């Protein structure tokens, strides 16, 4: 496979972020109360700006509220941000997203071509 890599129309993988918000009658933490919804927006913009073939999915609880916000890169890393949505942590996530994109591109390049 030679030439410039052309991203597919559909994403190669998903970045899933918990955006669960509790009613807080029990005063327990939730990912949404720790900024996960804004984090999802930031990551989505960064992924689109860099034309990374991934999508951001906002999802329900990942059962680790005490350590959130939580997110999972499909087929790769799981992050517990411990209430720290700093630029440094966002960059760590983006490094992992970029690495997963490169890994999947390499896998696609190595796969035998199918067709008539």
Check residue 6 and give its pLDDT: 60
Q: Is 51 left (phi over 0), alpha (psi -120 to 50) or beta?
A: left
Residue 80 bridge partners (DSSP) = 70
Single pTM value for the model: 0.83
Check residue 115 and give its pLDDT: 56
CATH number of 13-110: 3.40.30.10
**pLDDT tens for each residue of 5-44:** 565 567 889 999 999 988 766 778 899 989 999 999 999 9
**pLDDT tens for each residue of 63-77:** 998 899 999 999 999
**pLDDT tens for each residue of 37-65:** 999 999 999 999 999 999 999 999 999 98
Structural domain spans, the chain = 13-110
DSSP summary character for residue 74? T
* CA gap 106, 96 in Å, rounded: 15
Phi, psi of 40, rounded to the nearest 5 degrees = -60, -40
Residue 79 bridge partners (DSSP) = 71
Question: Which whole-number Å values give the CA distances from 8 to 24, 26, 39, 45, 65, in the listed order?
Answer: 42, 45, 25, 18, 34
């Amino acid at each position: 496979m030679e030439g410039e890599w052309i991203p597919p129309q559909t994403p190669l993988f998903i970045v899933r972020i918990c955006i669960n918000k509790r009613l807080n009658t029990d005063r327990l933490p939730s990912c949404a109360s720790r900024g996960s919804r804004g984090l999802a927006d930031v990551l989505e913009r960064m992924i689109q700006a860099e034309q990374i073939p991934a999508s951001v999915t906002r999802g329900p609880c990942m059962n680790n509220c005490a350590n959130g916000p939580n997110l999972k890169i499909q087929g790769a890393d799981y992050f517990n941000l411990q209430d720290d949505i700093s630029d440094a942590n966002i960059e760590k996530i983006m490094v992992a997203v970029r690495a997963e994109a490169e890994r999947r591109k390499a896998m696609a390049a190595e796969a035998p071509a199918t067709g008539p």
